[in-house]
């Protein structure tokens, strides 16, 4: 039957000629190709010393941001935990006491804030859900570790360093 | 036997043994480097500058790993397997002429441990013995993959030994001697009587057959069916761990070194190099340069082994047997006949 | 030194050949047989028959024994699969063994025992001399044996070849 699209290709299978059946020319050709590859430029990036630039929309480790006066922005509203499809975020809210105004921006703050990095899928929905612009996935690659419990990151790892005065 | 003789041989044996182990050690490094360069990678580069301490690190890793002997394995034979493999690999170095004679304080010291007058046959015998290490180890593991690997190794070695022997016979017809030293000396220089002196130029077909058989006898890719990962897990060394596995891997590299040395001696002029008699060097200097050239030839062949490994895919088992029995053996018999005709014609018309 | 070496190697070869018979496991038997052949090689070297030594090494140890081992490994002989031997078979074996013993004893007695250490012509075993003798004095037996091998080869090929209609 005639092919409608006319894209069908009929492949002819000829029996091998003597030259082809000898294999040696083909082997020599192959070896020449592999030999040429010895002198090609190597695309290797020597990782710990040399790091490739991340793309602009790269999503890495989370960080909890501070405002311009160095106060934590997070108000423990729980929207990030709610939006998280992997259920990786938990938190316990605390009330700001007198004299802590320089530490927390709002009256309510996250006393405990934990992200389970084994559950996290780095989708960035927490970032989008946050009304206070407190969480961003702008960190590096999450490092490997030996124990599961070490992958639950608390505030000490997540909160950004205070500004230097 | 005088004392000087014993000391001289003792030193020679020690040096050759150390060198062959060292070369085998660095072959593992070279293999990884060559593989990576052929694949546009960098290869090991963490242990020391350019990773040159990698073999040491590998050795320490091998030694400190846990040794496992399977419960139903035959313990004595399980240990004897790798020991035999490395023993048969090492004893091949005894008859290879590493260089011509060196004269120190009036004594002529040949750079060869033993000039056996059946040296070629000795090498052949050692090669044919090499399969026992694999067979015993594979059988003693009490594992079907190991057994399959061992059986493949045995049938492959026997099949290719025939073609190898026949290709050597054609060579022996033109050299007229079984001693490796004599064969080496016949190839002195590079050009004589209007033709190359090296045997590769006099026996091109024989050399090709020998080369292919050498690949098969050392179980190197494309003939590495005894340890073919895709079908047999690890082949004959599936059950081995720690340094016993290391011995098997090491034996493969020593085999490669020895067979490179044999190929260089039989076909590529051994320790001879072009213009050796025209540069006006002293005899000792020629010998030392000869050893260097011998080593260079060996290293070239080792590189060639690796180059082929990372270029050509593995054969299928029936293809392997077809190649051995239906192609190489008839070809090598034809080569013998051709050599015979050539020698007769040369004797009658060109004398 | 040579004599003591000879007796030592001779003891080893008899010891290992006895182990071949007495070991229960057939694979062990073959391995002992390989060691026995190795002691034979040493005997040949002691007799200054280098060519014979190396050929024994290559052909028997390197090829035939590998095939033996190969077949035994494939057969996987166990105690359970071993067929029970009938008493008739045992009696036949004993008779055959006795016949062999008598023949060997008789032939040893008719031949004069040669001195094992002193060689008649010490250089006979070297490749050059052996080749000369083989291709002059013993040319006919040599050619006849080669024809024998050829016919064996043709027979093997015929046996291995499948019938054209049952493939």
Q: A66 or C74: whose pLDDT is higher?
A: A66
Best of C19, C35, C49, C70 to mutate (most B CBs within 10 Å, chain B): C70
Q: Where is pLDDT greater, at C129 or B302?
A: B302
Residues of chain B with Cβ-Cβ distance to C51 below 8 Å are 118, 121
**Would you place residue B351 in the very low, low, confident or very high pLDDT band (cuts 50, 70, 90)?**
low
Of A164, A139, A132, A125, nearest to A63 by C-alpha is: A139
Where do the domains of chain B lie? 70-349
Label the pairing between strands B107-111 and B191-192.
unpaired
CATH number at residue A136: 3.30.70.3270
A136 within some domain: yes
Sort out which chain B residues have CB atoms less than 8 A from C55's CB and list them: 121
C41-69 tens-digit pLDDT: 888 888 777 788 888 888 888 788 888 88
Domain regions of chain C by residue span: 3-78+87-160
Domain membership flag for residue A114: yes
Distance CA C57, CA C8 (A): 20
Determine the pLDDT at residue B77: 85
Ranges A39-43, B108-112, B174-178, C163-167: which has the least confidence = C163-167
Of B37, B40, B310, the CB nearest to A43: B40
> Do the two chains B and A touch, given a threshold of 8 Å on CB pairs and at least 3 pairs?
yes
Partner-chain contact A27 B311, CB within 8 Å? yes
Q: C57 vs B77: CB contact, 8 Å cut-off? A: no
DSSP β-bridge partners for residue B195: B192
Quick one: average pLDDT of B82-97?
87
Q: How many domains does chain A have?
A: 1
User: What secondary structure letter does DSSP report for A4?
Assistant: S
Please, do chains B and C touch (3+ CB pairs < 8 Å)? yes
The architecture that CATH gives domain C3-78+87-160 is Up-down Bundle (1.20)
In a domain, A46, yes or no: no
Percent of chain C surpassing pLDDT 70: 82
Within a domain: A48: no
**How far apart are alpha carbons B73 and B143 in whole angstroms?**
9
Average pLDDT, chain B: 84
- How confident is the model over B249-263, as a mean pLDDT? 88
Nearest to residue A74, comparing CAs of A57, A96, A97, A55?
A: A96
pTM of the model: 0.80
- The residue among B86, B154, B82, B166 whose CA lies nearest residue B124 is B166
Preferred mutation among B30, B37, B208, B310 to probe A, highest tally of A CBs within 10 A: B37
Burial letters for C129-163: b for 16+ Cβ neighbours within 10 Å, e otherwise? ebeeeeeeeeeeeeeeeeeeeeeeeeeeeeeeeee
Instruction: Look at residue C144 in the predicted model and tell me its pLDDT.
Output: 93
* A49 to chain B: closest CA residue: B46
Domain limits for position A67 = 63-158
The Cα–Cα gap between B117 and B180 comes to 8
Q: Give the strand pairing for A135-136 and A63-64.
A: antiparallel
Highest mean pLDDT among B35-39, B74-78, B282-286, C159-163: B35-39
pLDDT in tens, B117-127: 778 888 888 88
**What pLDDT sits at residue B347?**
82
- What's the rounded Cα separation, in Å, for the pair A97 and C41? 97
Average pLDDT over residues B69-79: 83
Report the percentage of chain B scoring pLDDT > 90. Answer: 1
Q: Is the pLDDT confidence value at B273 over 70?
A: yes
C residues 14-43 closer than 8 Å to B (CB): 27, 31, 34
Q: Count Cα neighbours of C149 within 13 Å in the Cβ-side half-sphere.
A: 6
The predicted-structure confidence for A4-22, as pLDDT tens digits, reads as follows 887 878 788 888 777 777 7
What gap in Å lies between CA B8 and CA C62, rounded to an integer? 32
Other Cβ atoms less than 10 A from the Cβ of B103: the count is: 12
Rounded CA-CA distance C160/B228 in Å is 28
| pLDDT at residue A67 is higher than 70 | yes
- Does B74 score more than 70 pLDDT? yes
Beta bridge partners of A135: A64
Residue A119 burial by Cβ neighbours in a 10 Å radius (0-12, 13-18, 19+): middle
pLDDT above 70 coverage of chain B, percent? 98
Q: Residue B96 pLDDT > 90, yes or no?
A: no
Rounded to an integer, what distance in angstroms lies between the CA atom of residue C43 and that of residue C37? Answer: 10
Domain membership flag for residue A12: no
Residue C165 banded pLDDT, cuts 50, 70, 90 = low
Q: Nearest-CA residue of chain C relative to B161? A: C63
Interface test with C, best of B121, B168, B175, B333 (most C CBs within 10 A): B121
* Predicted pLDDT of residue B321: 87
- Sort out which chain A residues have CB atoms less than 8 A from B215's CB and list them: none
Taking 90 as the threshold, does the pLDDT of residue C148 lie above it? yes
């Amino acid at each position: 039957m005639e092919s409608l699209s006319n894209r069908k290709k009929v492949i002819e299978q000829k029996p091998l000629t003597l030259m082809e059946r000898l294999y040696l020319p083909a082997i020599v050709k192959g070896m020449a190709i592999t030999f040429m590859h010895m002198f090609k430029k190597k695309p290797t990036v020597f990782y710990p010393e040399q790091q490739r630039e991340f793309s602009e929309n790269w999503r890495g480790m989370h960080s909890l941001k501070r405002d311009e006066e160095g106060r934590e922005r997070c108000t423990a509203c729980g929207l990030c935990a709610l939006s998280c499809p992997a259920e990786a975020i938990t938190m316990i809210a605390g009330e700001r006491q007198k004299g802590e105004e320089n530490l927390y921006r709002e009256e309510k703050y996250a006393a405990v804030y934990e992200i389970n990095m084994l559950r996290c899928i780095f989708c960035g929905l927490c970032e989008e859900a946050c009304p206070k612009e407190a969480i961003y996935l702008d960190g590096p690659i999450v490092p490997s570790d030996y124990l599961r419990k070490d992958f639950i990151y608390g505030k000490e790892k997540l909160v950004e360093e205070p500004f230097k005065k | 036997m005088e004392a000087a003789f014993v000391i001289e041989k003792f030193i020679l044996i020690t040096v050759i043994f150390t060198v062959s182990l060292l070369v085998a050690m660095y072959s593992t490094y070279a293999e990884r480097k060559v593989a990576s360069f052929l694949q546009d990678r960098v290869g090991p580069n963490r242990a020391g500058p350019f990773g040159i301490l990698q073999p040491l690190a590998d050795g320490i890793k091998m030694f400190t790993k846990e040794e496992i002997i399977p419960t139903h394995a035959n313990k004595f034979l399980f240990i004897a397997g790798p020991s035999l493999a490395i023993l048969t690999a090492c004893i091949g170095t005894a008859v290879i002429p590493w260089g011509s004679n060196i004269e120190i304080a009036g004594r002529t010291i040949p750079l060869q441990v033993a000039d056996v007058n059946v040296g070629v046959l000795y090498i052949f015998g050692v090669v044919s013995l090499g399969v026992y290490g694999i067979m015993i180890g594979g059988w003693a593991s009490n594992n079907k993959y190991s057994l399959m690997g061992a059986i493949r190794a045995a049938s492959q070695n026997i099949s290719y030994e025939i073609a190898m022997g026949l290709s050597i016979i054609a060579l022996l017809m033109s050299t007229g001697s079984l001693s490796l030293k004599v064969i080496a000396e016949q190839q002195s220089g590079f050009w004589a009587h209007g033709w190359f002196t090296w045997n590769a130029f006099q026996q091109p077909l024989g050399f090709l057959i020998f080369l292919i058989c050498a690949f098969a006898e050392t179980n190197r890719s494309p003939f590495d069916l005894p340890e073919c990962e895709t079908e047999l897990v690890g082949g004959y060394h599936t059950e081995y761990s720690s340094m016993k596995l290391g011995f098997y891997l090491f034996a493969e590299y020593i085999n490669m070194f020895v067979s490179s040395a044999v190929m260089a001696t039989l076909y590529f002029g051994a320790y001879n190099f072009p213009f050796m008699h025209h540069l006006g060097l002293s005899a000792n200097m020629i010998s030392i340069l000869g050893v260097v050239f011998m080593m260079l030839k060996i290293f070239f062949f080792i590189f060639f082994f690796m180059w082929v490994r990372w270029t050509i895919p593995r054969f299928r088992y029936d293809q392997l047997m077809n190649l051995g029995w239906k192609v190489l053996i008839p070809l090598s018999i034809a080569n013998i006949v051709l050599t015979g005709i050539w020698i007769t014609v040369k004797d009658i018309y060109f004398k | 030194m040579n004599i003591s070496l000879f007796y030592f190697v001779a003891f080893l070869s008899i010891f290992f050949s006895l182990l071949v018979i007495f070991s229960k496991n057939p694979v062990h038997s073959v391995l002992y047989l390989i060691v026995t052949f190795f002691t034979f090689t040493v005997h040949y070297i002691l007799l200054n028959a280098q060519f014979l030594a190396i050929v024994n090494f290559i052909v028997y140890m390197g090829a035939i024994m590998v095939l033996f081992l190969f077949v035994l490994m494939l057969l996987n002989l166990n105690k359970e699969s071993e067929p029970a031997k009938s008493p008739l078979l045992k009696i036949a074996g004993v008779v055959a063994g006795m016949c062999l013993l008598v023949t060997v004893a008789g032939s040893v007695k008719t031949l004069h025992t040669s001195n094992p250490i002193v060689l008649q012509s010490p250089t006979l075993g070297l490749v050059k001399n052996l080749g000369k003798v083989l291709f002059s004095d013993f040319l006919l037996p040599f050619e006849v044996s080669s024809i024998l091998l050829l016919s064996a080869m043709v027979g093997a090929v015929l046996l291995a070849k499948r019938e054209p209609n049952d493939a």
